[in-house]
Amino acid sequence: MKQRDRLRIAMQKSGRLTEPALELLNRCGLSFRQSRDKLFCFGEGEPVDLLLVRDDDIPGLIAQGVCDLGIVGRNVLDEFRLTTGRDAAPLNELRPLGFGRCRLSIAVPQELDYQGPQTLEGERIATSYPGLLGEWLRTHAVNASVIMLSGSVEIAPKLGTADAICDLVQSGGTLVANQLREAEVLLESEAVLAGPLTLPIDERGDMLELLLKRLDGVIQVRESRLLLLQTSRSSLEAITRLLPGGPQPTLLAVAGQPDQLMLQALCAGEVSWRQLEEIKKAGAREMYVLPVEKMLA
Ligand code: PRP
Ligand code: ZN
């Protein structure tokens, strides 16, 4: 194959991962001129171009060396690993990217009395993930027929072509709309940066290293929140126990109120309403959750 000197990243052309993936790359200082057919986007500042394709094609494009990297769901990457022959170039999950979170689950009709994996013995399960489902069935010693469908998996039980399904679940809305319920989680998935096991040893390798460093910085800041709250000294211990992971909080005195403290904590991830409500129950007041824009340790 002809040697390339520009890095090429494959990503989903249109779907749930497209917008957040583009935004992430922009934050890493990459911007693209969209070409008319929208398949190939030329990178403007840095020597990094984009290929916009179907997500299921991404692992193959990397394995063949057509692209150096891909932004793709872990589910697609793992399915590729399990279903392609041994001689296909092995792929690596270089970084989890923290968006597009979903799970690959087995779902059954709501009225089915699900008692565990053995309930699926002898049943027909429709899926677009025969590799991951097959592996799970083997691990749990369940004999079931795997029915491969490339789309609209969730209507198979209603149509009578399957007894259960194995599909991606995000909000769970699709399952509810089809009178199904989640019975087993096979895989926790999110968008990942995928690449070959061995990286190119040329300009592309240097650019890749730079990109990974920027990515790490962007991900760290994006997931950080600064939590501010006021508490009495007596509630401090209970509150500290509830704080989402991160370095030790900072405590500040509140002028004129000696038994009150202002607490400031850097949290490693999102702080949910549920967590806030729990912390409040433990005695916190005046709570603020602030995004962190830049951070230099
Ligand atoms: C996935 C999956 C379900 C739906 C689940 O499809 O196949 O149909 O999302 O999401 P929910 O739990 O939020 O309802 P997607 O929209 O990604 O399209 P695709 O299967 O064609 O890739
Ligand atoms: Zn898809």
Q: Can you tell me the distance from the alpha carbon of 105 to that of 273, in angstroms, rounded to the nearest whole number?
A: 26
Q: What is the DSSP letter of 259?
A: T
Spatial separation of the C-alpha atoms in residues 183 and 173, rounded to whole Å:
15
Residue 270: predicted pLDDT: 82
Evaluate: CB of 18 within 6 angstroms of ligand 1.
Answer: no
Q: Phi/psi at 108 (nearest 5 deg)? A: -125, 160
The answer as to whether 241 is a domain residue is yes
**Cβ partners under 8 Å of residue 277, min gap 6:** none
| Max Cα–Cα distance, the chain, nearest Å | 73
Q: Is the CB of 171 under 6 A from ligand 1?
A: yes
Please report the pLDDT score of residue 296 as a whole number. 64
pLDDT-derived band of residue 158, with 50, 70 and 90 as boundaries? very high
Span 20-68, pLDDT tens digits: 999 999 999 999 987 666 789 999 989 999 999 999 999 999 999 999 9
Q: In a 3-state reduction of DSSP, which class is residue 104?
A: strand
Q: What is the mean pLDDT of the chain?
A: 92
Same domain, 23 and 72: yes
Question: CA 209, CA 28: separation in Å to the nearest integer?
Answer: 12
Last residue of a domain, one of 171, 189, 207: 189
Residues 6+ apart with CB under 8 A from 257: none
Which pLDDT value is given to residue 198? 83
Number of domains, the chain: 3
Q: How far away, in angstroms, is 103 Cα from ligand 1 center?
A: 10
Task: Give the mutation target among 174, 176, 185 for probing the ligand 1 site: most ligand atoms within 8 A of CB.
Answer: 174
Mean pLDDT, range 93-99, rounded to an integer: 94
For 152, the domain range is: 102-189
CATH of residue 154's domain is 3.40.190.10
Least confident of 107-111, 116-120, 172-176, 242-246: 242-246
Task: Let me know how many helices (H) and strands (E) the chain has, helices first.
Answer: 9, 16
Residues 141 and 280 in one domain: no
| Atom number of ligand 1 nearest to Cα 172 | 12
Q: What is the mean pLDDT of residues 276-294?
A: 93
